[in-house]
Every structure is written in C-alpha cells, then in structure tokens.
Structure 1
Amino acid sequence: MSSCERLLLKLPEKVGDQKGVDDAKNGQYSGVLVNQVKILEDADFLYIKNLFENNDDWACVYDKKTTKVWTRNVPTSDFCMIKANCHMPDVSASVAYDVLHDPLYRPKWDHYMLNAEEVGLINPNNDICYYAVGGMPPFRSRDFVMQRSWLDTGHEKFICSHSVCHEKYPPVKGYVRGVVFFTAYLIREADVGCHLMYATHSDPKGKLPAWLINRLTRVIGPRMLKKLHKACLKYPAWKASNQPTWKPWIYPEQQASSVRINLSDCQPRNYEQELIDESSVDAKDVNDDDVL
C-alpha cells in the first residue's frame, strides 16, 4: 500500500512465559502481546525487573549526573527499545508513583499530552485508557489506546502499558494511531530518595527521520525526566489543595464510579490509516522548546 498502512494486525499466537523471556534476550518480549488484554503475572514483573537490572546488549547513549539512558536494537522492529534510570534523592517512591498516576496533576508536567481519557476499569489494578500526544512541530500528533497495569509491593512499584483495541476508540482524523508494544516504570526505594526506571518499545507509525531517535534518547528523554523530577518535588503541596484523599490507584473503593470494561469490546481489529511520510523533516527545523 502506497498511501495507507495496516495498523494493529491480527493477534499473534500466544507463547509461554519461558519463550517470552528467551525472546526478550533479543529485544522482543512476547509475554505481553499487542491487542491482547492480559492481567500481568509474576513472570511479567520478573521480566521487568531483569530488564532494568541487566545491561547486556544495551548501549549507553546518555550518562550525566543522576540520569542514564540506554538503547537496544530490536531485530523485528524499525524502532529500538529505550530504557532510563534516574535517581531522585529528594523524592520518595510513593510520591513518584502518585505523580505518574494522578490524572489531575499530569497536565502540570506532561506538556506532550493533548488528551487523556479513562475508557474503563478491568479490575482494581488494570484499566484501559486513551492518550493523545502532541508531536514537536511539524510532526503530526499521535494517539494510543492502552491497557495500563500497576502493582505496589511496597519497596517496588510498577506501572506498565501496552496497546489494545477498543471498539469506541478507533483511529481518528488528525492523529496517527501509534502502537506501544510494551512500556514499564519501576520505582524503587533507595537509601536516599528513589530510583525511577523507565523502558519502552513502541512504533509511532508513519515514516519518521532517522535522526529522531537520537534526539529522543539524548535530548528529549533526559529533559522529560528532569521535568518529572521537578513535578515530583511540587506534588505534595499541590495535592494537599487538590482532592488530597483521592487516590484510586491506591484505594480501590474510590473506583466505584468507573465504567467497567466489557472485554468483548476489546477484540483485535485491523485498521488502515493514511501513511504519513515525515522522513524529510530536517533536524534544524524542529525546536525542542516548543513542547518542553
């Protein structure tokens, strides 16, 4: 297809946990599959921990002060996997976890976000959400439909997401529907403050210039982590004046008004959308400060 690209193809065959771990060694994790709603299991959280603790086959592309960023090629994808580790000595793990969850606070620090909606709740630790993100001009904005999963074990806190379908949220005009293969945050208590770790493998779809990944990993990513750190420092005072007891990601009883997901609405779908060619955009024509 010259003017269209096929998006979110049929559900891949399910594979076992060990196969998923083996695939992960080559940059691809098959324990969580695009288009498949899944309640994460112990093996999935173990994979996430190993992902952050093992740097074999990863290339460090940024190492300054308290932040490191790595990339790893994925043979089956045009886009590499990215992970980062940021030590925040003046932020507790619980505050960082709340900041990443709190939808009321997110517009204060996530300047990429154009729209975010909770589609519905699967169970107390899983939901489906819609997220629209603005691109750096002149890049087209992207949007995503994702299942989010979270787990708080005390010392460690996880937030994970991957792309799924929902019949009420097909691709819409004005956005390129992207695919998140797997994204994870791991927030771990440290002797002083916390470590916030982030990993993602996604496909924003369309045709993008080769230089963009370098810009994302070496400039935009570290800036976003710095912005998130500042947001964490301001959150306790902000939350004290903005529904301080409302934290449904911690207190399931506060989820009573949430719409419940009907899994029949989440069947895999094939979409076709216009193939947006942005590969000719020159790096000098993009101003990072437009969004940061």
Structure 2
Amino acid sequence: MGLFKSDNKMFTDEDFRFACRELDTPDTSDWEFFVESHNIKIYRQYNQNSGLYTYKVYGDLDVSPDLCATVYMDYEYRCKWDDYVSELCPIKDGEKDGVYWRVKYPFPLSHRDSSALTFVSQYCYLTELREFDINNKHVWVILCRSEQFSCMPEKSGVIRVDDYEQSLALTYNKNGGTQAYMYYYDDPKGMIPTWLINWAAKIGVPGFLEQMVKACKGYNEYKESLPT
C-alpha cells in the first residue's frame, strides 16, 4: 500500500499543538509578507546562516482536509502527480520510521537563457500524521523533519539535504473545504545560488498546493484504477 503510516511517535505533543495554533492565531509579527496567489498568502523570514528563507503559508483549498491529508501521505500516488519526485518510499531504521525522497528539479540558468540545468537532491526524513479535536475543530497535522538513517547512506552525485522541516495543519473551513497552514524550510546546498532558490519559492510553494488540490480531485479515479 502506498499510504504512509507509522506506529511510532517521533514528534512531541507540543510540536503538533504549535502547528494547530497557527490555524486560529497566525503568528506573522516577525515575518515579511511575500506574495498572495489563489487564496494563498505567504510570509517569509530570513535565515542569516544559510542566506535562505523560512516560509509560512496560510490559505484555503477547495477540497476537504481529510482528503488532503490522505493524498499527502500516499507516497505511491505522489510519484504519479508530482513531476519533481523521481523516487519516494518508506524507510525504517530500528524504531525510526521515515521516508526517502529523491527530487529532480530544473532551474533556469538565467533570465536570458531558455535552457535549464537539472539538480538532483535526496531527502531522508521523519514524518508523522496525528488528528486532534481542538476548539470545536477536527485538525489533521503532518510534521516532517530531516533525519539520518543508517539504512540509506548518501549516494554519489546526489546532494543530501540534511536541513529540512515542514509542518502542515488542515481543518475544515466554513465552506466545507480546507483551511490550511504550512511551515517550510530546506537548504538544498550544492551549487544552486541562494537567490535562485528564493526566487523559485515564490512559484514553487503555491504551485505545490495547487498541484495537490488537483491531485485530490483525481484521487478517487486513481484508486479505482488500481488492481484489486
């Protein structure tokens, strides 16, 4: 089965509560407003050490939160709809349950050159989904954080991303769709210029959410196409 599940608790209760609170009381006091697109607002905060930004995303999606959570955790389906994923599979190292994620993504070499250069990165990370009933809301929270796994050593010629963190909190909005909050940071390292990574985030972060909504709407058809 492609749906990722773990019986191990790898994050603290407070880690999950922190993400839940952002749905009711967004904290953007020290964050710079970055861009708004398709009912999605993005804020960013500069990281002095890496020269990159951490992002907070708030918005509404016109699919249900339970479906969003299911689609996000279905790694086999993600390989079908996410063009940047070249490999995504569960890994286990003792008591640690995680995911191996190999990403291939092109960036333009310059605004004047229509050619592209492809970078390949690999992630190994912990991930966990929990559900909560808070303030009369049912909330789905997914947390991800980079982690070392002895069963998955680094591969030659592929950049290992070891500084990655993502939180995703989902609940119903008043229209029956999803109220969403996402926190995202990663440092892909390698030879990719920081200005190019920051520029790509302006398109990539909302673009990912738009892709996920489209994938949610096609999920039933995908499931029906699977062999029984």
Give the TM-score band, short-chain normalised.
0.7 to 0.9
Separation of aligned partners in 1, 2:39 and 2:164? 27
* Match in the other structure for 2:37: 64
* Match in the other structure for 2:97: 127
* CA 180–187 in structure 1, closer or farther in 2 if over 3 Å, else same: farther
Quote the offset at 1:243 in angstroms: 6.9
Separation of aligned partners in 1, 2:9 and 2:146? 11
* CA 241–146 in structure 1, closer or farther in 2 if over 3 Å, else same: same
Give CA-to-partner distance per residue, 1:200-236, whole Å, 9 cap, x none. Answer: 1211112422332342232222222211111111112
Task: Report the number of matched residues.
Answer: 205
- Report the identity percentage: 22
Structure 2: tracts of 5 or more residues without a match = 1-7, 107-115
Q: Secondary structure at the match of 1:172?
A: coil
* Match in the other structure for 2:69: 97
Separation of aligned partners in 1, 2:198 and 2:204? 9
Q: Secondary structure at the match of 1:173?
A: coil
* Match in the other structure for 1:239: 223
Quote the offset at 1:69 in angstroms: 1.4
Q: Does 1:112 align with 2:95?
A: no
* CA 198–122 in structure 1, closer or farther in 2 if over 3 Å, else same: farther
TM-score norm. by structure 2 comes to 0.80
Separation of aligned partners in 1, 2:43 and 2:71? 24
Q: Secondary structure at the match of 1:111?
A: coil
Contact 2:93/2:149 (CA < 8 Å) preserved in 1?
no
Quote the offset at 1:121 in angstroms: 7.7
Structure 1: tracts of 5 or more residues without a match = 1-36, 245-292
TM-score norm. by structure 1 comes to 0.64
2:78 aligned partner, one-letter code: R
Report which of the two has the higher share of strand. 2
Contact 2:37/2:206 (CA < 8 Å) preserved in 1?
no
Structure with greater Cα Rg = 1
1:43 aligned partner, one-letter code: E
Quote the offset at 1:177 in angstroms: 0.5
Q: Secondary structure at the match of 2:170?
A: strand
Quote the offset at 1:194 in angstroms: 0.6
Q: Secondary structure at the match of 1:60?
A: strand
Map 1:1-292 → 2, pairs under 5 A: 39-50=10-21, 53-89=26-62, 91-120=63-92, 127-136=97-106, 137-153=116-132, 155-192=138-175, 193-242=177-226
